[in-house]
Chain A
Amino acid sequence: MADQLDLEALDTADKAALERLIIALADTKRLLGIRYSDWLIGAPSIETGIAASSMCQDEWGHARLLYAMLKQLDKDPGPFERERPASEYASTTALDEEAPDWAAVVALMVLVDGAATAVLTSFAEGSFDQANSRVPKMLAEEEFHTSLGAAWYRRLADADGEARTLLTDATSRILPSLLTWVGTDDEANGRLVALGVIEDAEARLDRFRDGIRDLTALVGIDVDAVEPAGEWDSTRGRTSGHPAEEAVERARGDRNRALFVE
């Protein structure tokens, strides 16, 4: 564990970098919950739908905890959760559109949850005390997501025909932008690395690749040979584009805004 971060000693740019990291992780968790929720009905079995429902709630709980960390930076989480347009969301690109089929959901479970877990593990072991205390419980809950994702990934990879093709296509589509999301050390992330908040890009990528290497190999994809892709947006800390408006309306709770309970 790194030496504790002294928030009072941070300059404006350091605080902005930490804020960007927290929002990118929180938005990714929230949108991942949305994408799981798209498949509560329509999953291959009742048990899988229940598991997806539970994972969706886990992700929203994790997002809530992450947004709440903004209070440490004297920021009110409310506007971040409920008032931003889609163009300001920092969730990873793989979540911008609804998963078109169950194989794509499985790819999200393994790859997006795997990427988020790699960065969160680094965050949990870094110098920010809120991450030290809150993230380990998230990671414990993620172990069930990892087990389910890996079991389904193996199953679809072992299948003949369409299921395997869809899984291969989804993996090929999602992976390059995730490698960029996990493994970019721009000026802001460089500050966080220097402050001990997260590990450097190479270490984060090693964590991510180690977690998925054996699975993607089942569909003939060598994660060490895949090149990162996507135009980096340093304002949000993700590649260009943004999640679909409809998903963000749900993330913000636009339709039941009058019913919010604090």
Chain B
Amino acid sequence: MNEIVYDVFARKDRGDTLVHIGYVDAFDDETAKVYAWKTYDEERWFEMCVVERTAIIPVNRNEGVFANARSAAHG
């Protein structure tokens, strides 16, 4: 099955910085949300978001997982 990498961001409390806490492989946005919520359930998160890795635009690095994912997807 072709799966998509989604990066997971969360904050514990209102006003906290949103931080990258990991990633999940999922086949669409809905499954990504469930997998993220169920996988990273060690905290009572105030907010959690997922974003497709290929949608992340690297700013200062042209190598690494984010740059590699984006170049693989967009050339």
Contact B3 A147, beta carbon cutoff 8 Å: no
Partner of A48, one of B35, B37, B41: B35
A159 to chain B, nearest CB (A): 9
Contact A151 B41, beta carbon cutoff 8 Å: no
Given contacts A50-B39, A54-B38, A144-B37, contact A45 B25 (CB under 8 A): yes
What B residues does A45 contact at CB under 8 A?
A: 1, 3, 25
What A residues does B28 contact at CB under 8 A?
A: 151
What B residues does A48 contact at CB under 8 A?
A: 35
What B residues does A55 contact at CB under 8 A?
A: 38
What B residues does A155 contact at CB under 8 A?
A: 27
- Total interface residues on A, using CB and 8 Å? 17
Q: Which of A47, A50, A151 counts the most B-chain CB atoms under 10 A from its CB? A: A47
In chain B, residues 1-50, which have Cβ atoms closer than 8 Å to a Cβ of chain A?
Answer: 1, 3, 24-28, 30-31, 33-35, 37-39, 41
Contact A148 B31, beta carbon cutoff 8 Å: yes
CA separation between A53 and B34, bound complex, in Å? 12
Given contacts A44-B1, A45-B3, contact A148 B25 (CB under 8 A): no
Contact B25 A144, beta carbon cutoff 8 Å: no
**Which A residue's beta carbon lies closest to that of B40?**
A50
Contact A147 B30, beta carbon cutoff 8 Å: yes
What A residues does B33 contact at CB under 8 A?
A: 147
CA separation between A48 and B39, bound complex, in Å? 9
Contact B41 A54, beta carbon cutoff 8 Å: yes
Partner of B30, one of A47, A50, A151: A151
B42 to chain A, nearest CB (A): 12
Contacts A51-B39, A54-B38, A148-B31 aside, 9 further interface pairs with beta carbons under 8 A come to A46-B25, A47-B24, A48-B35, A51-B35, A54-B41, A144-B34, A144-B38, A150-B30, A151-B31
List chain A positions with a Cβ less than 8 A from chain B: 44-48, 50-51, 53-55, 144, 147-148, 150-152, 155
